[in-house]
């Protein structure tokens, strides 16, 4: 599979283009002020994109370079998604500290180093943004 990466990309582009064309054709336009309407342009762009995808199918292309480490990246993405969901309930400082902790660990910090990074970064960022720059951030159950 890894040596077919470009062809997979080509297939994905063709599929995405087909999806866009199907979607644009299914649009119901009741009123259009101009002769083009909202359909033609996305279809044209999607066809161009699909064409580029087809070009990619012809050649083998590059070989997907294997990651040296996979777990840190997965952990980071999970932490980011979790941050999006928990920012409201936990409040900015707690959620950001948790995020920083995971990212620091992913960058091979020792637990102590990661904890220190989290404990310093989150309040510092809050202090900069909320009181100094006056951008309101979500408050958690503890009031910060």
Q: Binders of another protein among 59-118, rule CB under 8 A?
A: 61-62, 64-65, 67-70, 72-73, 76-77, 80-81, 83-85, 87-88, 92, 96, 99-101, 103-109, 113-114, 117-118
Rounded distance between C-alpha atoms, residue 93 and residue 41, angstroms: 45
Identity of the residue, 2 or 143, whose beta carbon is nearer to another protein in the bound complex: 2
Q: Are 106 and 78 in contact (CB under 8 A)?
A: no
Q: By CB under 8 A, name the one of 11, 18, 115, 137 that touches another protein.
A: 137
CB of 130 to another protein, least distance (A): 10
Q: By CB under 8 A, name the one of 9, 11, 115, 119 that touches another protein.
A: 9
3 state DSSP class of 131:
helix
Nearest to 42 by CA among 54, 57, 25, 59: 25
Q: What is the DSSP letter of 3?
A: G
Rounded distance between C-alpha atoms, residue 44 and residue 61, angstroms: 26
Q: By CB under 8 A, name the one of 3, 38, 111, 127 that touches another protein.
A: 38
């Amino acid at each position: 599979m890894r040596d077919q990466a470009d062809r997979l990309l080509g297939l994905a582009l063709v599929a995405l283009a087909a999806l866009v064309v199907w979607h644009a054709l299914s649009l119901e336009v009741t009123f259009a002020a101009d002769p083009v309407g909202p359909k033609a342009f996305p279809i044209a762009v999607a066809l161009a994109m699909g064409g580029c995808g087809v070009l990619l199918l012809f050649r083998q292309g590059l070989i997907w370079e294997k990651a040296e480490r996979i777990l840190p990246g997965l952990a980071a993405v999970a932490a980011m998604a979790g941050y999006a969901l928990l920012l409201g309930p936990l409040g900015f400082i707690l959620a950001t500290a948790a995020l920083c902790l995971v990212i620091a660990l992913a960058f091979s910090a020792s637990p102590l180093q990661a904890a220190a990074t989290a404990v310093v970064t989150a309040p510092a960022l809050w202090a900069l943004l909320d009181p100094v720059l006056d951008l309101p951030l979500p408050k958690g159950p503890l009031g910060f």
